[in-house]
Amino acid sequence: MTSTVTRAPSSDFDPFSTEVLSDLHFHDGILREVAPVVDIEKYGFYAVTRHVDIQKALRDWRTFSSTDRPFYQPNPFRPVAPLMQDPPDHTQTKAVMLRIFSRENMAKMAAYFTETAENTVDALLARGPVSLDAYYDVAAQYVLKVFPDVLGLPTEGRELLLNFGDAVFNAFGPQNEHHFEKMRNGAPALEWVETNMKRELQAEGGIGWQLYTAADEGVISEAEAEQLLKAVLGAGFDTTIFGISGALRAFADNPDQWQLLRSRPELVEAAFEEALRLYPPSRFGGRVATKDTQLAGIEIPSGTKLLMMWLGAGRDPRKWPDPDTFRIDRDNPGGHLSFGFGIHTCAGQAVARLEAKSLLTALLNRVERIELDGEPRRALNFQAFGHDRIPVRLVPASR
């Protein structure tokens, strides 16, 4: 008996409208329930909406290639990255990245991240209970310090990186007024990044320095080293800030889970994975079909561009019981798709996890309660998902 293959249902859903961007979980959740694959009429691409089908497509990189995707027009904020290549190019560049994130390098980062996280939290709590913005004062300030440091970038001008990351993740979408506003806001940051990606400005021992060393060895070209450094910065900066601040939002909303973590600190890694599922810092990824195929019983013609909707999949009730509930002791906490899947998983995911673990552990050892102290505000962003304001009050633990 052969299964029936049908056409993708068409929808007038606009993933990039202001209304949708203002409440992504609601709207992407509605799209997920329309069908596993939906034809987005306005832009001429298909959206793959459910966890199992996204995972299946990501596993088959020959059929669902990373070499093209919706809104793939040239843009200075869109560096060439390993996740946008297929083997053999992907194999070579990812091998370089895995060398950069070697066990020795990760051990050095772990020690530095831990020390900096402890100093950061101690400074925040120096005068007792404190009201602050968990997005900017905690997550952004911490990542602005440690991540550019390990890349080997200069200190002066780093505050521009927030606008750079914002522009990077608004490059993937229609060229409407929102897009152009983000590009304009990011222009000074792009100038800073372009200047500081050059070989002569890399601190010895930093990731940038190591990438240029790989170029000297002939493993990659010097131009590829520069592009990889820019890609690591673009992919690992805003998303890490959004991931960490999303975890702090989740704990502020669910004080019982903070108390559970304080009683069971071994759950700190699982807690971050659950936060990534609930608040995925990347809303979607992209692929192109290299041949006529089908997914979930829906035909996909060769050349069809697709968005893989990570955010909606993170709350897919077919995968997750009580998907809207933040529960740090879930089974299979790492089953989300926030770092991709298959050969195109994020090469720097271990760094993001290490940053989050270091900061959450420092908070865990010093903060009794994280209380919401106002209304959080979500950032309006095409591809990334996160907050640009999370007012909280940190209450120190007695020692």
In a domain, 358, yes or no: yes
User: How far are the Cα atoms of 13, 16, 172, 305 from residue 285, in angstroms, in the given order?
Assistant: 18, 14, 10, 11
DSSP category for residue 93:
H
In a domain, 2, yes or no: no
Give the domain range for residue 50. Answer: 10-396
pLDDT of residue 1: 41
In a domain, 3, yes or no: no
* CA–CA gap between residue 221 and residue 134 (Å, rounded): 40
* CA–CA gap between residue 298 and residue 1 (Å, rounded): 17
For the chain, what is the domain count?
1
SS3 state at 164: helix
CATH number at residue 216: 1.10.630.10
User: How far are the Cα atoms of 33, 157, 278 from residue 320, in angstroms, in the given order?
Assistant: 14, 42, 11
pLDDT of residue 231: 77
* CA–CA gap between residue 23 and residue 12 (Å, rounded): 17
In a domain, 1, yes or no: no
Count the neighbouring beta carbons within 10 Å of the beta carbon of residue 146. Answer: 23
In a domain, 5, yes or no: no
Strand order across the 391-396 sheet:
130-133, 391-396, 367-372
pLDDT of residue 79: 61
In a domain, 132, yes or no: yes
Dihedral sign from CA coordinates of 36, 40, 44, 49: negative
In a domain, 4, yes or no: no
In a domain, 117, yes or no: yes
SS3 state at 126: coil
Per-residue tens of pLDDT for the chain, all 399 residues: 446 889 999 999 999 999 999 999 999 999 999 999 999 999 999 999 999 999 999 999 999 998 899 998 878 877 655 555 566 665 567 678 778 888 888 899 999 999 999 999 999 999 999 999 999 999 999 999 999 998 888 889 998 999 988 998 999 999 999 999 999 999 999 999 989 988 998 888 888 899 999 899 988 888 888 888 887 787 678 889 999 999 999 999 999 999 999 999 999 999 999 999 999 999 999 999 999 999 999 999 999 999 999 999 999 999 999 999 999 999 877 788 877 666 556 666 788 899 999 999 999 999 999 999 999 999 999 999 999 999 999 999 986
* CA–CA gap between residue 308 and residue 48 (Å, rounded): 5
* CA–CA gap between residue 298 and residue 36 (Å, rounded): 8
